Structure 1
Amino acid sequence: MIETARVVKVEKNSIVVNVTGTSACSSCAMSGHCAFTSSSKTILPKPKDVEIKEGDYVEFETPKHLSATKVSVLLYGIPLIIIIGGTMVLVAFTKIGNLESLGLSVLGAGIYYWILNWYTKKHEDKYSPYHVRKIEPPENINIERLGDLK
């Protein structure tokens, strides 16, 4: 999905942007008339080939292979299985107590998160949003209402 964002701050290797809800709102019949303004502060990697400064607008896209379901399973489903399943297996097949089994299972989930963090940092270009291009300010957004998130 392509998102539109206004650059709030430019740092050495990243930019801080206000992400606006244009992709979801542009097809709505009430676009531009409702009181709902969806915006959030997001940190994106700084593009190397385009000069970006505060106040500019950019479009970026999240990788198509990362669906909400896949991310949810990676972040919540697998650790939950490790904690619950690990505790049940350790209690059933070892002489370790309940609390110790739970502690070891939570430790296993922590190791899983560490491996996941290491892998996503190693393959950052594959798993992070990337910029499509710098654009002119969109016409269907009330810029005055957005404000800066600080």
Structure 2
Amino acid sequence: MNTLEVQMSLRRIHPSLQSNVYPSNRLPMYAQVPALIICNLDPDSQPGSHWVAIHINVERVGEYFDSFGRKPIEAIEGFLRRNCCMWRYNSLTVQDYLSAVCGEYCLVYIYYKFRGMRLEDFLRNFTCDSENNDTVLVNLYRNIMDI
């Protein structure tokens, strides 16, 4: 997914979310909370490599979701430190490394976070079978987007 596709999908989840898509070097200095953000790991000078999602609640507790279960890169970790009193990330790899559905994972995560679902409950949709997870994810995405 490219930036425009992510923005348009976010708008379908909720109109107020469409502008919350950034390259890693353009994250705002300070986030208005609650915040639901999708970020590409590449800076704006690069074509884009991988989408991740960030949630910060009104108490400034943050969550970083990466479908590959990796820690945030330095630019995103700095954003989290500036904007959160504490934060955590998922360490579970749910996406198959050969697939290109990271944007869809982030959008489905944002959809459920917007409705109050906990990260642990969201991750229960998936197993250690990443190929099957991608199939589950695509079905969830299609149902959410009504496509």
TM-score computed with the length of structure 1 as normaliser: 0.26
TM-score computed with the length of structure 2 as normaliser: 0.27
Compare the two structures and name the one with the higher strand fraction. 1
Task: Report which of the two structures shows the higher radius of gyration computed on alpha carbons.
Answer: 1
